[in-house]
Amino acid sequence: MRFDPALSAQQAFRHAEVELGSDWDTAVELEETFSSNAGAIAREAYEGLLAIAQHYPNAHSFHAFCIYITWQQVTEETIARHFETGLKLCEAYLVSHEAKEPRHIEQITELHESFRAGLGLEEEDDIQVEFRRDTPKGGD
């Protein structure tokens, strides 16, 4: 990666305060728990942060933060669920047409590729594209 997801997470989190309103204090507590622990305690804090994100679909900095910390979860506990979560978060972030920081878009695009690769969803080669094109489409 051409950037440090942990540093990007810190930067995105600092910008998320105005996005979260009354949930900011809870987010700060969860982030502190996540950052200073490992294992089950960090995982619970991570899940709590993702739950907050669901309540704020337009909190772009906070969503970027969640994507960056999902990569941290992948490095801590390399399981398919974290790759899948990261992939979903990236796709939701990149699909929306709201104004976002170009740096986040670039970095999240890179993470999206990494989450895909971690799940074995690499880019299709020419043979796979040709096969898909030549395969009859379904129907009765």
Kindly give the confidence (pLDDT) of every residue in the chain, 140 residues in length, as a single tens digit, with 9 standing for 90 and above: 889 999 999 999 999 999 999 999 999 999 999 999 989 999 999 999 999 999 999 999 999 999 999 999 999 889 999 999 999 999 999 988 676 788 899 999 999 999 999 998 876 545 545 555 555 555 44
Angle formed at CA 24 by CA 22 and CA 29, multiple of 5 degrees: 130
What is the rounded CA–CA span in Å between residue 51 and residue 26? 11
pLDDT at position 140 is 44
CA 50, CA 56: separation in Å to the nearest integer?
10
Residue 76 CB contacts under 8 Å (≥ 6 apart), including other chains: 38, 42
4-79-40 Cα angle (round to 5): 85
